[in-house]
Amino acid sequence: MENEELKDAIKDANLPQFPDFTKVHQELKAKAKANIQHTPRQQGPWIVCVSCNYPHTLKWVGMEKKLRGIADDGSYIIE
């Protein structure tokens, strides 16, 4: 009888629900590719988005290059 009570207690415990990471990853990739509403900043060799709910990288530029801005077509100006 204790096992049944324990099972019921676990079911009613409102355990945390984790997001579907595959779905989150697909959404981030689609947004990064579309370059919609991203605020890019360079952090080391990476261009990262600082405006989305989930931090994510947009592009790897390397240590020798620097992000200078964004062109009218949405591409990055890198030198």
At residue 66, the pLDDT reads 93
Residue 5 domain-assigned (yes or no): no
pTM of the model: 0.51
Host domain of residue 61: 37-79
Better-scored residue on pLDDT, 35 or 17? 17
pLDDT tens digits along 33-76: 765 677 899 999 999 988 888 888 989 999 999 999 888 877 88
Residue 58 domain-assigned (yes or no): yes
In 17-73, where do the E strands start and end?
40-43, 46-49, 56-60, 67-70
At residue 34, the pLDDT reads 67
At residue 1, the pLDDT reads 57
Residue 79 domain-assigned (yes or no): yes
Contact between 58 and 38 (Cβ < 8 Å): yes
Residue 24 domain-assigned (yes or no): no
